[in-house]
Structure 1
Amino acid sequence: MSTSRNPSDPSLSGLQALQTRRHLLKTSAVGFGHLALQALLGQESSAQAASTNPLIPQQPHHPPRARRIVFLFMKGGPSHVDTFDPKPLLDRDHGKPLPFDLPRVTFAKQGNLLKSPWKFHQYGESGLPVSELFPNVARHVDDLCVLRSVYGTNPAHGGALLKLHTGSDQFVRPSMGSWVTYGLGTENANLPGFITICPTLAHGGVNNWGAAFLPSYCQGTPIGNASLAAAQAKVKHIRNSRIDPSLQRRQLDLIAAMNRDHLETVGTNQALEGRLNSFELAYRMQSSMPEIQDLSSESEATQQLYGIDDPVTEDFGRQCLMARRFLEEGVRFVQVTHSDSEVQWDQHSNLYQGHTKNSAEVDKPIAGFLTDLKARGLLDDTLVLWGGEFGRTPTAQGTNGRDHNPHGFTMWMAGGGVKGGYAYGATDEYGYYAAENKMHVHDLHATMLHLLGLDHERLTFRYAGRDFRLTDVAGRVATDIFA
């Protein structure tokens, strides 16, 4: 039996020590070389991953005020004169004819002026007025930048939804979430850059979150749809019970290799490249998506904050909490849609019943969402946008409803570098037309992009022989709302 000895033992002869040192260096050199090779291969692999993953973060055009955005979309058109834009003259002149001309095109026949069924009260240090419909959101009024002079061009839901989401009500164009993803990428390679939770399938449907001619990776990823309860809104088939991840990885590598050979023969093929990128993203999502969508890890207090313990607020509360989790994990653009197949915010009749129901479903979850973002330090660099595709008329439709009104309505922003407790612009004294600091939908988009660090005139994509952008050939940044 042999025994080993310490090479530094002084009893070793000089020759023995030299041979031992040579052996040590020889064997160590092999190890060092192996480590160096592994490092080089790792760098090459990372570089290759960056080149094949188009969703890596991109540099903005200028220092951003916000890093991410969430759009709380109220489908159907909430009434601005009943929520965030009080009109005392409307109350005074209730039942009288509108004292100026109606628009050339209206969606339905309109009657006389109809006062709001709800009282407005001032809140916060700013004293901004909010109606009785939103008592919980009202407590956050000092964080809100209320945009009272937004206007569009289309009085129909389909055209107005497309205008708001894509900047065009006549042609298929990329959605604003797709433009943001194209310009900035995402901060989490294991998740899509653009997620829409429970989107409506009506009035433009997928075109409201589609990428159109932008690269396919800019497409919004829907989680459920408006006809499903939020508790059922999951990414389908996120786990494969029959094939383990290592085998999936080998399959994807084989598919990618065969298609790379094909691309070398035929040249660029965006559809094929987009499909391969979608395969890779779907594979990576398996490690992140199930955990993010599992709300059971949230504390009871947090779930109560969002109203998940109340059947009235549970559905929208789940959507808002899911949105916060996606934002926290680096998703760049998240949309949350409040919609249903019966009421929505489209009260051509039964204004009181419909708006009471809708506001009760979203008021507490939105307030909880703002509270949670602020507590986690996310509100400062997260832009929150709230609103619908248009507002409602101050005139009555029938006896107790309001018609569509794209000519002047209210949206609001919070966080993301905008002034809190601030009202921007104004409609006329009855709330029909945008009158002061008018903000067209293109201006809204230009301002949103600027807050995210993107110049709307530079964020372009060449297609069919011309450069396209979200704001078309218009758009003015409303710098007055910046903090």
Structure 2
Amino acid sequence: MVIKPTPWNRRQLLNRCGMGMGALGLAPLLNPATAAPSPLAPKPPPRRATAKQVIHIFLNGGPSHVDTFDPKPLLQTYQGRPLPVDNLPTERATGNAFPSPYRFARYGESGLPFSEIFARTGECADDICVVRSMYADVPNHEPSFLLWNCGEARLPRPSMGSWVTYGLGSENQNLPGFVALCPHGLPTQGAENWRSAFLPGIYQGAHIDTQFSAIDKLIENIRNGTLTRPQQRAQLDLLLAANRFHLAERGHDPNLEARIQSFELAYRMQTEAAEAFDIEREPQYIRDMYGETVQARTLLLARRLVERGVRFVQVWYSGGQPWDNHDNIQIHGQLASQIDQPISALLKDLKQRGLLDETLILCGGEFGRTPTVELPRPLLNSGKQLGRDHNHHGFSVWLAGGGIRGGHVHGATDETGWQAVEDRVHVHDIHATMLHLLGFDHEAFTYRYAGRDFRLTDVHGQVVHSICRSA
């Protein structure tokens, strides 16, 4: 049998077959029963959950626990003198005791102490659980960022937001299930902090630079200036059909699947994202409650996103590592002044809307800072002795909502603030507890890759039941 070559070139073939290929792409839209299930479709948790979504407020750079949530009056006693314990090894050399320049006061019926730089947050003390006995692995930003956000300090692993959206999907199919709000560029380690790694690409975080307010700058290419919506849909249907043919010939291809899903999500976002990211739609009294800072706008956006069903929202203070105050700890006060009121507003706003009970809030940095002054070194801290070095031996984070026991302090550092000594909690333990509140057994929640079952907590982690309202 002789097969004659077609008289058409590739362009002519596409012209003649385009309608048929477009119809193939359109079929799932006309008959949803034939459509492939969305990987972001909401899924029930395997266990009883007290939280449905997460807002992670990351004070990147390492906020000092002894200047924020863990008062240490002994430092005043030893001001300018060596502490009665040896200085522990950190990234840089430190010297004598350095008392906090900030006053602490007790708040709420629980009497939780907060620094004056977080006085507005202190107004919500009875909803907050402060974990004062945190510890991490090393006193360096890069591995500590990845440990907090991905559960692994060195190797590429999925971020916790990717794990959560993989496990639960999202309640809103027109917005990403995982959004990373970070104003003024990228933080240290960039997009690695919200990567999906070996999980399907649809679960990677979508970065939004919230220094901007216009939707076209918040989300690049959100509007198509050339094609109408029906024309875009026809174009996307044709592309979808071609990609499906390509996929059928090659079998399972996670990268191609992720690209197909990203095209579809980008198309759907054109209608809903403009509304979700427009805080001008909020009443003036709500905007006044949050304030006028970039961090205020970012946290208000976080509330709007979880309210619309986004599963995991990560709020970065800003790009880089702004809380890394080696030179002058007084900068902590300036930083806190931009986010203290917005944090308080977020907690109160979620509570008045009935969302706090189902939204887990986690706030803190990658480690704390030393109770001793950092010694001056050329080219490192301008010869000043007003700051603190990194401290992974002991620090604080706080949680609220989503089944957390409010008005409670868990664990303790020693009397100087150097290291966690009572009911110590590792970063892996926080991850295990977060998954527990979302309805997962962190040891059973796995993904098979390269012949091994991986999990967010790797081979570590214990649920901290004492900080949960119902163990």
The question of whether the paired residues in 1 share the 8 Å contact of 2:187 and 2:318 is answered with no
Which residue of 73, 78, 97 corresponds with 1:113?
A: 97
The question of whether the paired residues in 2 share the 8 Å contact of 1:154 and 1:169 is answered with no
The question of whether the paired residues in 1 share the 8 Å contact of 2:187 and 2:319 is answered with no
The question of whether the paired residues in 2 share the 8 Å contact of 1:164 and 1:389 is answered with yes
Structure 1 counterpart of 2:277? 293
Are 1:64 and 2:49 matched, yes or no?
yes
Structure 2 counterpart of 1:334? 313
Are 1:315 and 2:294 matched, yes or no?
yes
1:221, CA displacement in angstroms? Answer: 0.3
Which residue of 133, 139, 158 corresponds with 1:174?
A: 158
CA displacement 1:32-52 (0-9 Å, x = unmatched): xxxxxxxxx999833344x34
Structure 2 counterpart of 1:146? 130
Structure 1 counterpart of 2:432? 446
Structure 1 counterpart of 2:288? 304
Hey, what's the Cα distance between the residues in 1 that align with 2:29 and 2:195? 34
Q: Where does 1:160-199 land on structure 2 (aligned, <5 Å)?
A: 160-198=144-182
Which residue of 419, 422, 429 corresponds with 1:433?
A: 419
Hey, what's the Cα distance between the residues in 2 that align with 1:65 and 1:275? 33
Hey, what's the Cα distance between the residues in 2 that align with 1:364 and 1:302? 12
Structure 2 counterpart of 1:3? none
Hey, what's the Cα distance between the residues in 2 that align with 1:201 and 1:295? 22
The question of whether the paired residues in 2 share the 8 Å contact of 1:224 and 1:230 is answered with no
Are 1:95 and 2:80 matched, yes or no?
yes
Q: Which amino acid aligns with 2:323?
A: W
Return the index of the structure with the highest Cα Rg: 1
Structure 1 counterpart of 2:397? 411
1:99, CA displacement in angstroms? Answer: 2.6
Structure 2: which 5+ residue stretches go unaligned? 1-26, 376-384
Structure 2 counterpart of 1:76? 61
The question of whether the paired residues in 1 share the 8 Å contact of 2:186 and 2:319 is answered with no
Structure 1 counterpart of 2:386? 400
Structure 1 counterpart of 2:191? 206
Hey, what's the Cα distance between the residues in 2 that align with 1:321 and 1:46? 35
Q: Give secondary structure in 2 for the equivalent of 1:288.
A: helix
The question of whether the paired residues in 2 share the 8 Å contact of 1:159 and 1:170 is answered with yes
Q: Which amino acid aligns with 2:47?
A: H
RMSD over aligned Cα, in angstroms?
A: 1.7
Q: Figure out how many residues of one structure are paired with residues of the other and give that number.
A: 432
Structure 1: which 5+ residue stretches go unaligned? 1-40, 309-313
Q: Give secondary structure in 2 for the equivalent of 1:260.
A: helix
Which residue of 352, 367, 371 corresponds with 1:375?
A: 352
Hey, what's the Cα distance between the residues in 2 that align with 1:192 and 1:347? 34
CA displacement 1:263-286 (0-9 Å, x = unmatched): 221111111111001101111111
The question of whether the paired residues in 2 share the 8 Å contact of 1:231 and 1:318 is answered with no
The question of whether the paired residues in 2 share the 8 Å contact of 1:230 and 1:316 is answered with no
The question of whether the paired residues in 2 share the 8 Å contact of 1:231 and 1:315 is answered with no
Q: Which amino acid aligns with 2:322?
A: Q
Q: Which amino acid aligns with 2:304?
A: R
Q: Which amino acid aligns with 2:298?
A: Q
Q: Which amino acid aligns with 2:459?
A: V
Structure 2 counterpart of 1:361? 338
The question of whether the paired residues in 2 share the 8 Å contact of 1:408 and 1:434 is answered with yes
TM-score normalised by length of structure 1: 0.86
Q: Which amino acid aligns with 1:302?
A: I
Which residue of 439, 448, 452 corresponds with 1:462?
A: 448
Are 1:223 and 2:208 matched, yes or no?
yes
CA displacement 1:134-160 (0-9 Å, x = unmatched): 111111101101111111012111111
1:101, CA displacement in angstroms? Answer: 3.2
Hey, what's the Cα distance between the residues in 2 that align with 1:236 and 1:431? 45
Structure 2 CA distance for partners of 1:439 and 1:44, relative to 1, 3 Å? farther
Structure 1 counterpart of 2:304? 325
The question of whether the paired residues in 1 share the 8 Å contact of 2:290 and 2:345 is answered with yes
1:340, CA displacement in angstroms? Answer: 5.1
Hey, what's the Cα distance between the residues in 2 that align with 1:415 and 1:219? 25
1:229, CA displacement in angstroms? Answer: 4.8
Structure 2 CA distance for partners of 1:416 and 1:254, relative to 1, 3 Å? same
The question of whether the paired residues in 2 share the 8 Å contact of 1:166 and 1:175 is answered with yes
Structure 2 CA distance for partners of 1:429 and 1:255, relative to 1, 3 Å? same
Hey, what's the Cα distance between the residues in 2 that align with 1:44 and 1:250? 13
Hey, what's the Cα distance between the residues in 2 that align with 1:251 and 1:401? 57
Structure 2 CA distance for partners of 1:251 and 1:42, relative to 1, 3 Å? closer
Moved more, 198-207 or 238-247: 198-207
Hey, what's the Cα distance between the residues in 1 that align with 2:283 and 2:93? 50
Hey, what's the Cα distance between the residues in 2 that align with 1:42 and 1:387? 44
The question of whether the paired residues in 2 share the 8 Å contact of 1:215 and 1:270 is answered with yes
Structure 2 counterpart of 1:311? none
